Amino acid sequence: MESAETPAAALAGIERARGRLAGSVRTPVWRAVSNAAGTGAFLATYASGTFPAWAFLALAAMFVPSFAQLRDASRPRQRGLLTWAWPAAVIVVLLLPAFAAALWLGWNEREPGLGIALGAFIAIVLLALHLWWARLAARPVIPDASAAPLLDAVLEEPLALRLLGVLASYRGHLEAPTVEHALEAPDTAAGAACTPLVAAGYAEFTDPDQPFGRGRIWLRATPAGIAAFDSHLAALRASATPVP
């Protein structure tokens, strides 16, 4: 276990852990670009009335990164059926009509420029949606400023404090390796820090509903843990603020 930190050091550690977590849960820009460009190229190919061999590469570029992106973007929040609500809406509202339009253009041998324009428009819209969702998913929750300052003995251990701070900042299921990366700690140290939090009812292991994939360890903060962290954070800030 780490020794007790000064209030200023504890606050700096919490912010550092939050920053590392935000970087790990934010979808890489290259995935968003690959997904948008692949989708646009695929639609433009259909609209041209031909389906050359390179179109299969466009199809792969469209689907493979998108599944990885959906998985990463859903990490900070609730997983399960609601995770797929927004991509389902994008498919029904945007992609299916665009695909139908591309087929119509191809069958009727319309001007190729129309297909290219359609693909470019869909690519731009998809890129904007992906980047917006990535930014939203990585945005932390602001602690309750009205919480009464109160130091908690369970949170005196620095790593446990940072761990609860990470969980409380994102208010959802977080995969264990993601938490370990944010804490810059091995799994054994993170597990030891998590034990008192679970015992106090501040954190819990979860098994969110997953449509597919192997079982993984997930963590989240409980309402009691979020309240305790907010109060402890308020006390640390009060202690770190110099008295005039």
Determine the 3-state secondary structure of 180 from DSSP. helix
- Pair 99, 62 in one domain: yes
Q: Are residues 66 and 157 in the same domain?
A: no
Q: Are 190 and 159 in contact (CB under 8 A)?
A: yes
The pTM of the whole model exceeds 0.85: no
Is the residue at 84 inside a domain? yes
| Residue pLDDT, tens place only, 180-218 | 888 888 888 888 899 999 999 999 987 655 544 556 778
* Cα torsion 145, 146, 148, 154: sign: negative
Residue 161 CB contacts under 8 Å (≥ 6 apart), including other chains: 10, 13, 14, 155, 229, 232
Is residue 39 one of the residues assigned to a domain? yes
The whole domain housing 173 covers 7-25+141-240
What's the pLDDT at 35? 78
Report the distance separating Cα 244 and Cα 237, nearest Å: 15
Report the pLDDT value the prediction gives residue 75, as an integer from 0 to 100.
47
Structural domains counted in the chain: 2
Instruction: Indicate the residue type of 143.
Output: P
| Distance spanning both ends of the chain, measured CA to CA | 35
The amino acid that residue 198 corresponds to is: V
Q: Quick one: 128 and 154 in the same domain? A: no
Domain for residue 127, yes or no?
yes
Mean pLDDT of the chain: 77
User: For residue 44, is it within any domain?
Assistant: yes
Q: Are 24 and 166 in contact (CB under 8 A)?
A: no
For residues 41 and 129, membership in a common domain is answered with yes
Which of 104, 137, 170 is the endpoint of a domain?
137
Structural domain includes residue 122 = yes
H helices within 74-150, ranges in order? Answer: 85-90, 96-107, 112-137
Structural domain includes residue 1 = no
CATH code, domain carrying 177: 1.10.10.10
DSSP 213: S
* Domain final position from 77, 112, 137: 137
Residues 59 and 106 in one domain: yes
